Chains A and B, each alone.
Chain A
Amino acid sequence: MVESTVHATHAVVTLDVALPGIIWGWMITLNMWAKSIGTGVILVGAFLLYRHKKDEMPNLRWTMPLISFIFLNIFLLFTLTDLHQPYRMVNIFLHPHWTSAITVGAWMASLFTALVTVLMVIGYFDAHPNVRKNCALANAARANSSLYEKLFPFVVFLAIPVTLYTAIIMAESSARELWQAPAEVMQMMWAALLAGSAALILVSGKWSAEARKDLALVLAIATFFSFLMYMGEYFFSFKSSEAEATLAYVHAGGAYNTEFWFGMVLGFIVPFFIAVGNMKSDNKTLLRFAAILALVGLYMAKDVWLKIPQMLPLS
């Protein structure tokens, strides 16, 4: 009988309205995941350009902004489609409210996407001199080739706040205590490095083994620290009753326990060992496999972390 299972000091809700449940769902997961790739390839690409000669990574100059452009557009598309009034997105630019990380982020991400677009156009037409020889845009891009190198440092610099502002949105989401952790900032950064290195691994077939080794190194470090961060949260995050109640969804028996551990194992543990192994002996296929696993696992981990705090009743 239920009355004998209820502790005397416990209170039972016997009449209430229906609660909203998950409000930010898979579209926001996809949005964060895509942004990690969009900014991560720039950050990791900059690291490679700093460490290696350009001819060791012949297609990097145009594939890096192209991948970034594609995923930033996926990110922007799903930011828009998740709005209940998508056309009013323009209000963020017409009536900006600067205390909101959503506003600051939207402005920075738009500027970032515009700059990445310029890099992509210049990079692509430079790398393909025979394409659209009579096109004014292509010729203008080729004529202004040096603009790429001038813009690139700003783009790399901007990639950092564009990566991190989502953590500030999380911090401003005062109703979801799990997200109020300083670790969120680091998680966003590790996610970008993980996603950036994984995405570049997929296009690194013709690069020098040394460059690929660096990619494997970044992937190994990012998966290692991402995993540590999640474990830190998993075991030590008992800072409040709300965070504890939220973590019950990923602990043993919780509704998100399986997805969480799939994310941890597929996304972080397996790719880590493959990446470390790859630093000793270069195996392109295995490294690609690790990159794909890492991207899938990252999506799952982000999905769980987004949804579990929304399961709690707030009032």
Chain B
Amino acid sequence: MKLGFLVDLNLCMGCKGCEVACKVENEVPLSSWRLRVKYIDIGTFPDAKREFTPLRCNHCENAPCERICPVSALHYLENGIVNVDSSRCIGCAGCMMACPYGAIYMDPETNTADKCTYCAHRIESGMMPACVVICPVQANIFGDLDDDTSHISQYIMAHQGAVQVRKPEKHTNPKHFYVGGGTQTLDPLAQQRIEGYSLFNNITHLDHIGDPNHGVIDRFLAPFESHEKLDNKSFVDFDNHESEGGH
């Protein structure tokens, strides 16, 4: 069995349903993403169009992240999924240097590496990944690539010549395919990131890798300190509310 993904970019309408479903299903903390949908504007007005590209781990058959991990925290499952054992991870960030697709993040709550696991926990109990279930246009197609009769295999056969992977020159042999993509949507170097030209926010770079509350010394002290458990609320500033009757 070799599980794989295919996204038909002709169908994707950029609703970000998959992004949100993934966040909820996997309790992905703020400032981190296992799956994101990138908006890319192509052309100049009035001949402009907006493309949407969902990006997640490719579960490469020849995964550089697995190879560089010094403690096998990243490992293959029998069904082809590249899984993470966060209880073993030492947080060296080697995998973040090795993954050519920037698919790995340092979880700010656990201070360990994490990424899309194709919802391995759901697969185990016979369910589909959360992003597949939520997609209103069925742009996410998931299944067994070894099975010629599976939906994904059939889809690949039906779209021969139009199926692409990201950065094939890296020889990672990704098990995540795109239909309807092109250089402008799949190659990050073919895209410009222009300062102040982003919808909704201007934050282009994270200002911390991993836990923002843990400096270097704190990382050593952390096991001996009993501080409040971090959750999503810890990352939001709620101090701006007015006290009752204050106006």
- List chain A positions with a Cβ less than 8 A from chain B: 2-4, 6, 8-21, 23-24, 27, 81-89, 91-92, 95-97, 99-103, 106, 169, 172-176, 240-242, 245, 312-315
CB distance from B226 to the nearest CB of A (A): 16
CB distance from B207 to the nearest CB of A (A): 8
A315/B72 in contact, CB under 8 A: no
CB-CB contacts of B104-125 with A at 8 A, as 1s and 0s?
0110000110000000000000
Beyond A83-B90, A84-B112, A314-B101, whether A17 also contacts B106 by CB under 8 A is no
Q: Which of B39-47, B154-162, B230-238 contacts A (4 or more CB under 8 A)?
A: B39-47
Cα separation A242 to B44 with both chains bound (whole Å): 26
Q: Which residues of A contact B10 (CB under 8 A)?
A: none
Which one, B88, B101, B197, contacts A12 given CB within 8 A? B197
Q: Which residues of B contact A14 (CB under 8 A)?
A: 39-41, 50, 197-199
CB distance from A22 to the nearest CB of B (A): 8
- The chain A residue sitting closest to B48, CB to CB, is A3
Interface residues of B in 187-224 (CB under 8 A from A): 188-194, 197-200, 203-206, 209-211, 214, 216, 219-220, 223
**By CB atoms of chain B within 10 A, which of A20, A81, A92 has the most?**
A20
Interface residues of B in 58-93 (CB under 8 A from A): 64, 67-72, 88-93
A83/B91 in contact, CB under 8 A: yes
A314/B89 in contact, CB under 8 A: no
- The chain B residue sitting closest to A88, CB to CB, is B90
CB distance from A75 to the nearest CB of B (A): 14
Interface residues of B in 3-48 (CB under 8 A from A): 31, 33, 36, 38-45, 47
Sort A-B residue pairs by CB-CB distance and give the 7 closest, nearest first. Answer: A84-B91, A314-B102, A15-B39, A173-B97, A102-B70, A174-B64, A11-B184
CB distance from A210 to the nearest CB of B (A): 44
Known interface pairs A172-B94, A174-B170, A315-B103; 16 further A-B residue pairs with C-beta atoms within 8 A, sorted by A's residue number? A2-B194, A13-B40, A13-B191, A18-B31, A20-B205, A85-B111, A97-B69, A100-B67, A100-B68, A103-B70, A172-B64, A173-B64, A173-B94, A173-B97, A174-B172, A315-B188
Answer yes or no: B164 CB below 8 A from chain A CBs.
no
Q: Which residues of A contact B192 (CB under 8 A)?
A: 6, 10-13
Q: Which residues of A contact B101 (CB under 8 A)?
A: 175, 314-315
Question: For chains A and B in complex, what number of residue pairs have CB atoms within 8 angstroms?
Answer: 205
Cα separation A295 to B111 with both chains bound (whole Å): 33
Number of chain B interface residues as a range = 35 or more
Answer yes or no: B96 CB below 8 A from chain A CBs.
yes
A8/B90 in contact, CB under 8 A: no
- The chain A residue sitting closest to B88, CB to CB, is A91
Q: Which residues of A contact B190 (CB under 8 A)?
A: 10-11
